[in-house]
Amino acid sequence: MVILLLLVLATSASAHTTLVRPRTVADLQRSIDRAQPFDTLVIAPGVITGSDLTIGKPLTIIGRKGAVVDAAMKGTSAIFVDADNVTIDGLAIRNVAVSFSTDNAAIKVRKRRHALIRNCRIDNAVFGVYLSDCKQSQVVGNRFTAYYSEQSKAGNGVHCWTGRDILIKDNVIDGHRDGVYLEFMHRVTVTNNICIRNLRYGLHFMFSDSCSYRRNRFEHNGAGVAVMYSSWVEMTENIFEDNWGVSTYGLLLKDIRDSHIRGNTFHRNSIGVYAEAASRILFDRNSFTGNGYALRMLANCDDNTVRNNDFVANSFDVTTNSKDSRNHFDRNYWSPYEGYDLDRDGYGDVPYHPVRLYSLLVEQLPSSVILMHSAFVNLLDVTERVVPTMTPETLIDHHPRMKPLSP
Amino acid sequence: MMTRLLGFVLRDIARGRWVILYFGFFLVATEGLLYFTAGEAKTVVGLMNIVLMLIPLAALMFGTLHLHHSRDFIELMLSQPVKRFTIYSALYFGVVLPFLGAFVLGTAIPTAIHGMLTSPSVLSLLATGVALTLVFFAIAFVVAVKINDKAASMGMAFIIWLASAVLYDGLVLAVTVWYADYPLETATIAMVAANPIDLARIIVMLTFDYVALMGYTGAVFQNFFGEALGITVSALSLGLWTVIPFWIGARAFAKKDW
């Protein structure tokens, strides 16, 4: 322990801060090669042309305001991080070349620990930050902007493939393929990010257990957010808004188990939550407003709990493709609910069936969707509500709230 | 001659106060929906339900009733040297024009105040409302000319309304259930295009984002009705639904032994 402390003191005592004024990446590469481990290089404002910079030792690289690495659509990735404990702070990186054989990124880190990428502005890159097999790293406060129109050319804003303990925080990711992409990750925290106008998903999440994402905003993404094949995921206080289109979701859940979805807002999505093979998930205190389908839960979902949520002004509140349901709905607020509350405990005395007869019809006969909003269908729904015959009997809220939780 | 006759009919309608009531209803309903419903789509859907239900009903009921009430006037006019077609046209337009004005103003004034008048969904709603007024007054006149008994023709008008506004959709649904195993997109387009109320509903719905909820069928619909062919077919269908009943009614009126 004492030796370790001495080592830390020794290294920090010998660390130097150097101001460099490189014109090209080759100049910067020479400065990096001359520097001692744990030194700090401060880059003066100015454009540095070139790509394929390799940071091969633990360094802190700070870009002053106006310091830009311009890859000029040539080479592969702009910066390779090939050491542990590398910090890149405040640097701007732009114009990374598109390639169909290598995944070119503004900053690419492979098999390293303690990378910190902070306050960078990454403009027109294929991939923004690419973490492959990294641990204990952070991507904080960056801004990613890309301008692709085709998914096949574009890369992801923050791309993590294999690894654990990553923090992705306070980033703005605009116009990439996926805003944040996580695959085979553990214990990733994604907080306070804004993912907008990404071509595919705002957040794409595969085979990543024990991750949490909270207070993010996902807007106008091609297909919303997809969470697939994962367990123990915490999704809290995110905002899913305006993800509207034929096969677009606010949140797509596929093969998810033992997760919590709390306090999120789903507003104006064509499908708020689409759940397929989701089990033991708790939906608590979410708000679903103005969606086409608020919650679409397929027959292979079981043992999910949906409680204390607000369902307001959705075209369909809950839809399913089965006649029975093994999920639990309780104490939600449903805006179409027309029951009464004689004992004044705040919960309606008549149970509520959130599945409309018409939604079942559309399920089985897609072309009957042309009768949407017609008088006959409204009549049918009223009849079914009075005398339920076809809607799932077990999909029922015994304590529908009289007032929404959030006004 | 036509304009003078039209003047008589218009003055008669104005005395009846029904048009004022009709105007007032649309004014209050539109303003109420705009005031209480959040979001353009929801407001337009609410308004669309009113337009699709009420305009055909009001047109059918008032149209038949009015022709029966004008019997004295018609008989007086028939004794004059006036063409029967002119009398019939004057009666038709004399009723249709005030109702059109009442509907358009009653809907347009509140939407204009709320700054939504130029949105495509409101404009399409106004256009389809106008079309439905023309269609169902024409049908009402046929009923009134063909059936002499007032109660019977009112009953017939009501049945026509029930059939076109409610039961027809039941039939469409039944067909989709019966032939569920077949590709039905073209058939449903044909069925919808054949009924003016359904056609109006689809035209309005296609103007807002609801298409995204309609999946494959919605995409097929948008492709069809969004293109020149679809627009032609819609306009043709609504036009034929106006012209053919008008023509049948005018012929029956001309041949009728009063």
Closest approach of B180 to chain A, Cα-based (Å): 7
Per-residue model confidence as pLDDT tens digits over A16-71:
899 999 999 999 999 999 999 999 999 999 999 999 999 999 999 999 999 999 99
Tokens of A366: 């897609």
Bridge partner list, A241:
A219, A267
As a whole number, the mean pLDDT across chain A is: 90
- Three-state secondary structure call for residue A125: coil
Per-residue model confidence as pLDDT tens digits over B137-159:
999 999 999 999 999 999 999 99
Give, in order, the Cα–Cα distances in Å from A124 to each of A103, A343, B186.
Answer: 14, 61, 45
Q: Is A14 on the interface with B (CB under 8 A)?
A: no
Q: Can you point out the beta strands (E) in A268-361?
A: 271-276, 282-284, 287-289, 293-297, 302-307, 310-312, 316-319, 326-330, 333-334
- Three-state secondary structure call for residue A188: strand
Q: Which of A364, A366, A371 sits opposite B169 (nearest CB)?
A: A371
Residue A259 pLDDT class (50, 70, 90 cuts): very high
Q: Which residues of B touch A370 (CB under 8 A)?
A: 172, 188, 192, 198, 202, 214, 217, 221
Q: Is B207 on the interface with A (CB under 8 A)?
A: no
pLDDT for position B38: 65
Determine how many CB atoms are found less than 10 A away from the CB of residue B17.
Answer: 10
**pLDDT over 80 at A10, yes or no:** no
Per-residue model confidence as pLDDT tens digits over A218-231:
999 988 899 999 99
The answer for residues whose C-beta is within 8 angstroms of residue A361's C-beta and 6 or more apart is: A368, B173
pLDDT for position A385: 76
Binning chain B into helix, strand and coil, the percentages to the nearest 5 are 90, 0, 10
The percent of residues in chain A predicted with pLDDT above 90, rounded, is: 71
Closest approach of A270 to chain B, Cα-based (Å): 6
Q: Which of B39, B173, B202 sits opposite A290 (nearest CB)?
A: B39
Per-residue model confidence as pLDDT tens digits over A75-110:
999 999 999 999 999 999 999 999 888 999 999 999
Q: Is A245 on the interface with B (CB under 8 A)?
A: yes
Of the two residues B189 and A345, the one the predictor is more confident about is A345
Per-residue model confidence as pLDDT tens digits over B78-87:
888 889 999 9
pLDDT for position B220: 76
The percent of residues in chain A predicted with pLDDT above 70, rounded, is: 96
Closest residue in A to B178 (Cα) is A365
Q: Cβ A270–B188 below 8 Å, yes or no? A: no
Distance CA(B99)–CA(B87), nearest Å, equals 19
Helices B84-113 and B40-69: crossing angle, nearest 10°? 150
Size of interface A-B (CB pairs under 8 A): 83
Of the two residues A169 and A364, the one the predictor is more confident about is A169
Distance CA(B133)–CA(B22), nearest Å, equals 12
* Structure letter (DSSP) for residue A352: B
pLDDT for position B212: 67
Residue B204 pLDDT class (50, 70, 90 cuts): confident
Average pLDDT over residues B13-35: 89
Distance CA(B247)–CA(A237), nearest Å, equals 63
Q: Cβ B217–A244 below 8 Å, yes or no? A: no
Per-residue model confidence as pLDDT tens digits over A136-175:
999 999 999 999 888 888 899 999 999 999 999 999 999 9
Residue A5, classified by CB atoms within 10 Å of its CB into exposed (0-12), middle (13-18) or buried (19+), is: exposed
Q: Cβ B173–A364 below 8 Å, yes or no? A: no
Substitution target from B53, B125, B169, B209 for chain A, most A beta carbons within 10 A: B169
